[in-house]
Amino acid sequence: MDDGRSMRWQKTCVFFLTFFSYVMFHVSRKSFSAVKGEMSKEEWMESIFYAPTEQAKMYGLMDTLFMAFYAVGLYISGILGDRYDLRKLLAGGMGLTALLMVGFGLAAFANVHSLGFYAFLWALNGLIQSLGWPSNVAIMGNWFSARERGAVMGIWSGNACFGNIVGTAVIALLFSIIPNKTDAWRASMIAAGLLVALHTLLIWLYLEPSPTNKRLSSDDAEDAQNLLLKDDVPTPKGISFWRAWRIPGVIPYALSYACVKSVNYALFFWVPFYLTVSLKMEDSTADYFSMLYDVGQIIGGFLGGYVTDKMGMRTPTIVFMLLVVTCLLPSFNGASRDTTGVLLFVSGFLLGGPANLISTAISADLGTCPTLRGNTAALATVTGIIDGTGSVGAAIIQYLVGYLANCHKSEAGTQECSWKPVFALLEIGGIFSCLFLTPLLYKELNRHFRGT
């Protein structure tokens, strides 16, 4: 195999290994999101701080703890990713995640109902899973150049949504083949953990974190010139955490992503629960409906990335998509089943582009900007900062959603929630996500029209 074909084959392997690595992380996250409806019906969680009927508030607390510890972990993991072996970090994070998911399911089979126990487990899960995103993005940034990142990482970043779809399908399958729904959701947690464990083995055996072959074809040479680790060039040292914050564009994109991820994860964590409570769907039907949001995100991420590659600038496309989806969010409240399905797909499409671009292509662009003078060891640190800040916002929103929804049992014994304040909150998040990008939008448009 000649050097050019060898490089393309290696890129393909890296693409799919990292893609399915994050797919598995999201399979594990989706498992809990998808079984909330059944757990709520059973009033599974018990706590001295909440009444048995306040299940939504308990799940909101768990989601908040997951995102809070995930956010803190991202800041740390980004720094670690620029200093240690990315393959070992990624495999370690996946292996521990698998153990935690299996532990969750086994505890449920042992009839453990303590909110404190599951909250601790889910907080620890958030901390461990933070090793995944910075490591995967840094590896992709090592292998793919700036001119191809928009489209390549646009489709690659559909891994989270594809993971949601796979996770939903696995859970829906288990609910259909296991008659007892309690056993079905408990088995779902264990199945998710086993899937993560399987891919951990593949990462450990086959993943190459960066190119090592110095003999490239002429077509690949230009793209890979800053990616290869040459024998006569020392491995670049990671820049400091505070230096990474001062890279132009990091702060506005980090703040904007805090709002984008808040809206995105509010829908991700709560859509199945919303569909079962508000539209009275069966759990399996709600899971399939929620796939529409994920499918929209995959398509939006790819097309958004492709358009920004062609335009040569990213911010205008991101701001446009965010403005449109912000206008659509209030339409969810009171929408019919069919209309909700359409809104889920369109919202996923419009949020998928900005969310996926900011967390992948833009993070990689900023982590290899000219001001770093070729020091690509900022990739994981910058990715951790942007995704970590996004997760801080998402953590806050998860807790607010649980309280604003104010879910409770009516006199007739059915669950009732107030969703209007929730969608108003998400609309505010969309507005601020655009405002934080206004200075960059002005600069990019000004530079484009001046032709500089």
**Is residue 441 over pLDDT 80?**
yes
The per-residue pLDDT of the chain, averaged, comes to 82
pLDDT band at 120 (very low <50, low <70, confident <90, very high): very high
Compute the distance between CA of residue 136 and CA of residue 207 in angstroms, rounded to an integer. Answer: 11
Q: How confident is the model at residue 217 (pLDDT cuts 50, 70, 90)?
A: very low
Distance CA 214, CA 226 (A): 11
pLDDT at residue 213 tops 60: no
Mean pLDDT of 421-433: 91
Q: Mind giving me the DSSP string for 185-222?
A: HHHHHHHHHHHHHHHHHHHHHH--SS-------HHHHH
Q: Are 100 and 125 in contact (CB under 8 A)?
A: yes
Q: What is the mean pLDDT of residues 159-164?
A: 85
Q: Kindly state the average pLDDT of the residues 340-353.
A: 90
Where residue 368 falls among pLDDT bands split at 50, 70, 90?
low
For residues 410-418, average pLDDT:
72
Q: Is the pLDDT of residue 114 over 90?
A: yes
pLDDT of residue 225: 41
3-state secondary structure of 231: coil
Q: What DSSP character marks residue 329? A: G
Mean pLDDT of 124-133: 93
Model pLDDT, residue 239: 64
Q: How many Cβ atoms are within 10 Å of 423's Cβ, its own excluded?
A: 19
Buried b (16+ CB within 10 A) or exposed e, 408-422: eeeeeeebebebeeb
Residue 331 DSSP one-character state = G
pLDDT over 90 (residue 16): yes
pLDDT for 238 equals 57
pLDDT at 223: 44
Phi, psi for 114 (deg, rounded to 5): -65, 120
pLDDT above 50 for 107? yes
d(CA 293, CA 290): 6
Pick the CATH number of 3-209+244-447 from 3.40.50.150, 2.130.10.10, 3.30.300.30, 1.20.1250.20: 1.20.1250.20
Average pLDDT over residues 128-140: 89
Kindly give, in sequence order, each residue whose CB lies less than 8 Å from that of residue 98, ignoring residues fewer than 6 positions away.
28, 193, 194, 196, 197, 200
How is the chain split into domains, by residue range? 3-209+244-447
- Pick the most confident of 238-247, 325-334, 381-390, 398-407: 325-334
Lowest mean pLDDT among 57-71, 391-405, 418-432: 391-405
Say which residue, 64 or 19, is predicted with more confidence: 19
**Contact, 136 vs 21, CB < 8 A?**
yes
Mean pLDDT, rounded, for 1-26:
85
Give the model's pLDDT for residue 89. Answer: 92
How many CB atoms within 10 Å of residue 128?
A: 23
What's the pLDDT score for residue 218? Answer: 36
Secondary structure class of 47 (helix, strand, coil): coil
pLDDT at 3 (0 to 100): 63
3-state SS, one letter per residue, for 236-269: CCCCCHHHHHCCCCHHHHHHHHHHHHHHHHHHHH
**Percentage helix, strand, coil for the chain under 3-state DSSP, each rounded to 5:** 80, 0, 20
**β-bridge partners, 415:** 409
Name the band, by pLDDT with cuts 50, 70 and 90, for residue 147.
Answer: low
Q: Is the pLDDT of residue 221 over 60?
A: no
pLDDT > 90: percent of the chain: 28
Q: Which of 70, 62, 169 is nearest to 127 (CA)?
A: 70
Q: Which residues pair with 408 in a beta bridge?
A: 416
pLDDT band at 428 (very low <50, low <70, confident <90, very high): very high
Is the model's pLDDT at 146 over the cut of 80? no
Q: Which sign does the torsion angle of CA 212, 213, 219, 221 carry?
A: positive
- Residues 277-314: tens digit of each pLDDT: 778 887 778 877 888 888 898 888 888 878 887 787 88
Which of 62-71, 91-100, 212-221, 383-392 has the weakest average pLDDT?
A: 212-221
pLDDT, tens digit, 9 for 90 and up, residues 165-197:
898 888 888 988 998 989 999 999 999 999 999
| Strand ranges inside 351-426, DSSP E | 408-409, 415-416
Confidence of residue 256 (pLDDT cuts 50, 70, 90): very high
Q: Please check the confidence at residue 219 and state whether its pLDDT lies above 50.
A: no
